[in-house]
Chains A and B, each alone.
Chain A
Amino acid sequence: MKKQRIALLGAALATAVALAACGSAGGGAATAGASADPNAVVQVGSLYEPQNLDNTAGGGQGITEAFNGNVYEGLFRLTDDGKVEPLLAAAHTVSPDGLVYTFTLRDGVTFHSGKQLTSADVKYSIEKVLAPDSKSARKSSFPEIKQIATPDPKTVTITLATRSISFVYNLSYVWIVNDQAGNLQAKEDGTGPYKLDSWKRGSSLSLTKSPSYWGTPATNGGVVFHYFTDGSALDNALLTNAVDVVTSEQNPDALAQFTDNPAYKVNDGKSTTKLLLAFNDRVAPFNDVKVRKAVSAAIDDKKLLQSIWGDHGTLIGSMVPPSDPWHTDLTGVNAYNVDEARKLLADAGHAGGFSFTLDTPNYDPHPTVAAFVKSELAKVGITVNINVITPDQWYTKVYQNKDFTATLQEHVNDRDVVWYGDPSFYWGYDNPQVTDWIKQAEQASSEADQTELLKKADRQIAEDAASDWLYLYPQIVVASTKLSGYPVNGLNSQFFAYGISKG
């Protein structure tokens, strides 16, 4: 009983906290087998059922997984290995001051409804993301847009108020939809290689090949996403061939039955999901950098990761995962060192220790992690009071009201180190130098400058122990060996299905 409930709530929170993502995939996995059947339907098993079919209306990570790149396409695509490449934009130019972007649309693209893609659709789609009632989590990542002009049906000109080096990257999260389609919460009208066949809520979502697709058609006959609330039920479905692939294995105990079985392949992809012990940097005792460093040094992250995921997962020293362009290995900063932790605590005037409340989400792995943190910190005299809360309480208490001392939370997105440049974010890290670097990075004129500045910011937050980054989750795709060509990295939760072959 308990386990089922936890899985349910986990899925619910994942949709609430995940910055609804888009774009990526393609590359990665192996090439098709010789015996692949072009009409075979790929059965995909997932724990993330969409809330609805619109990513600007709170569809959640599930709809990104099912639709991004499969049903809808953007001007650009974020590939499975993290590169941004043109998709519906055939070409683009940027003015020397970095403020005016001109995009030329690809020829011969039609929506599933048959309508031709025009610049008006692009304008409509971007405005849909930025609209006041938009629930797109990417909304706040966009720079201020002064004007979107459509001089002719093939051309879109966007004028920004400030430079934004991430603008093109962020556009890969914008689905281009038909401007005449109306409400898209229960239907779709995209340009992708698949169109929606049916959606049985609580159960499955089927996609069939779009006959009018402008690009290379899918290498399979269609995809069915099967939704589960229980990880073991999902694993059983894979074991009985009811599904061919699991998009994100969340059950560490289940891995052995696939690793030792020649009928399955366990893929360790690149992950962007970080587990944080997030301090409230505004309030005592965590407004003191020494205390934060002491706590970081007192917890053996390696032992924690090993106990939860065995040989999977990666240690991180800061918010930047290895797949982000500005990654530096910072695991040596505030590394595990109990003596150092004690010394820092004494310096901070807490030689006798102190106690604090840790707001712990009630689903896996947080309760286990909280217990581990409690026992580690007890060794340096710190008492942890574990306060278990629901995802909804977390959102209200911690995220909105900032009424907490420390909390555990997973942060799923790539390139999200920039939150440390926002002093009003829930963890309240406020270093004007870092804020400035991150702001400058966004307005940088080259990616090299951007990378340079974000590296500086990243090192500074690590040295300030702005949060304690416990580990990077593994990103595990388990698939039948009959399958090839599937994405393994699942950047920002997408799952590009069009390259999958089933033998």
Chain B
Amino acid sequence: MTRYLVRRAALLVGTLFLASIVLFVLLRLLPGDPANALLSVGATPDQVAAARHQIGTDRPLPAQFGHWLSQLATLHFGTSFVSSLPVGPEIVSRLAVTVPLTLAAFVLAVVVAVPVGFVAAHRSHTWYGGLVGVVSQLGIAVPAFWLGLLLVWLFALRLRVLPAGGFPPAGWSAFGDALTALVLPVVTVAVVMAASLIRYVRSATLDVLGSDHIRTARALGSSFVGAMWRHGVRNAAVPVVSVLGIELATTFLGAVVIESVFALPGLGSLLVRGIAQHDYPVIQGVLFVSTFAVLVVGFLADVAQRLIDPRLRGAVARR
């Protein structure tokens, strides 16, 4: 296992490096000039040239890339073209919203989806089993922002129990306000996430329930719960864990729509603004951090799968 961990970690670092090259090069292929974002109507060609020189986009690409890497090596993300402020602290302050939002929604979604998905599979022929199928299908079809608007209308505008949006200027030092600010966004993200998770849990459970080894275990005298616990959950969990990893990674940046609906200063809105303004250091910084997060989640999901399923460990040993 240790050897596997070391190899997997090395793969993570290598992937991160390749990803940084790809995202650096792809960004430079975008049409448009970041100098434009700095200037307004009336700018002279001299002003444009000065702006390019100031942000360094007049230098050759390899030099720009080398500069960026050397900054990254010292954990600096560079300076925004547009605001001339360091990108690192900005990303950190956005993470203070995005990470709690993503994790809380994720936990809520798992807590709801796993039992519901299991029951839906186990009781798939009952009316409520069918209902879960329909409701989860609906949950997938509903756009997240629409659900967000609906929740705002109900809880903020009609019932007036929760804020319509925004995040307290004092951040997490105003703990109560920060917490209530995240309730509706968390629920919105969790509902959409849970809807698809339920379907994965349900189908994974159905596969397991119909499998020969459960039938055999039951025939050998195991109780249903015992058979499921010993032989079912582990098998059903493997595909679900990999889906969980993907869902978590998607939400990390995918929450941008929710951030906009709820006026939250999260990572996604920083990325969208960065793209609109061709603010390369901001885009690179956000994508680098999120790529890192996605790779770490993938790493954890892989490790979790190997812990759950000994057969996967064997596969590595044979290689």
Contacts and interface: CB of A to CB of B under 8 A. Distances in A.
Contact of A396 (B36, B51, B93, B145): B36
Interface in A183-221: 183, 185-186, 198, 200-204, 206
Contacts of A390: 32, 276
A229 B42 contact: no
A399 interface: yes
A51 B260 contact: no
B269 A229 contact: yes
Contacts of A228: 165, 263
A395 B40 CA distance: 9
Interface string B283-303: 000000000000000000000
A305 B40 CA distance: 27
A17 B41 CA distance: 6
A396 B84 contact: no
B41 A19 contact: yes
Interface in B142-172: 143, 145, 149, 152, 156-157, 160, 163-167, 169, 171
Contact of B54 (A133, A224, A226): A133
Nearest to A59: B83
Interface in B234-293: 256-257, 260-263, 265-266, 269-270, 272-273, 276-278
B74 interface: no
Contacts of A58: 37-40, 82
A224 B167 CA distance: 13
A12 B273 contact: yes
Given A52-B85, A396-B36, A201 B265 contact: yes
A52 B83 CA distance: 5
Interface residues of B, number: 54
Contacts of A57: 84
Contact of B31 (A51, A391, A393): A393
B44 interface: yes
A388 interface: no
A392 B165 contact: no
Interface stretch (A2-10, A77-85, A309-317): A2-10
A4 B261 contact: yes
Nearest to A20: B40
A230 B37 contact: no
Nearest to B278: A392
B46 interface: yes
Given A4-B261, A8-B273, A133 B37 contact: no
Contacts of B163: 240, 242
A8 B263 contact: no
A137 interface: yes
Contacts, number: 163
B260 A229 contact: yes
Given A17-B41, A52-B83, A137-B41, A239 B272 contact: no
Nearest to A257: B157
A453 B171 CA distance: 55
B263 A237 contact: yes
Contact of A392 (B36, B40, B149, B164): B36
B94 interface: yes
Contacts of B278: 392
B10 interface: no
A5 B260 CA distance: 9
B273 to A, nearest CB: 7
Residue picked from A17, A51, A141, A200, most chain B C-beta under 10 Å: A51
A140 interface: yes
A371 interface: no
Interface residues of A, number: 57
Contact of A18 (B40, B46, B84, B152): B40
A16 interface: yes
Contacts of A239: 157, 164
A8 B260 contact: yes
Interface string B154-192: 001100100111110101000000000000000000000
A240 B164 contact: yes
B207 interface: no
Interface in B15-44: 31-33, 36-44
A1 interface: yes
A399 B42 CA distance: 9
B145 A201 contact: no
Given A4-B261, A135-B47, A236 B42 contact: no
Interface in A102-150: 132-135, 137, 139-141
B63 to A, nearest CB: 21
B46 to A, nearest CB: 7
A233 B42 CA distance: 33
Interface in A300-334: none
Contact of B263 (A52, A134, A141, A226): A226
Given A52-B84, A201-B265, A203-B265, A236 B164 contact: yes
B83 A140 contact: no
A135 B39 CA distance: 6
Interface in A1-58: 1, 4-5, 7-9, 12, 15-20, 51-52, 57-58
Nearest to B152: A236
A181 to B, nearest CB: 15
A4 B54 CA distance: 32
Given A132-B50, A229-B269, A233-B262, A240 B84 contact: no
A363 to B, nearest CB: 10
A18 to B, nearest CB: 6
A287 interface: no
Contact of A4 (B32, B38, B46, B145): B145
A9 B276 contact: yes
B156 A135 contact: no
Contacts of A393: 31-32
Nearest to A61: B40
A396 B82 CA distance: 17
A201 B93 contact: yes
A137 B40 contact: yes
A234 B165 CA distance: 9
A1 B257 contact: yes
Nearest to B79: A185
A140 B44 contact: yes
Interface in A378-426: 390-393, 395-396, 399-400
Given A19-B42, A133-B50, A200-B169, A12 B84 contact: no
A239 to B, nearest CB: 6
B270 A202 contact: yes
Contacts of A230: 260-261, 263
Given A133-B51, A226-B263, A393-B31, 11 more contacts: A1-B145, A4-B145, A4-B257, A4-B260, A12-B273, A135-B47, A140-B44, A186-B85, A228-B165, A230-B260, A392-B277
7 contacts: A8-B273, A183-B84, A202-B265, A202-B269, A203-B167, A233-B165, A233-B263
Which 8 interchain pairs have the tightest Cβ spacing? A202-B265, A236-B164, A137-B40, A203-B265, A4-B260, A52-B83, A12-B276, A392-B32
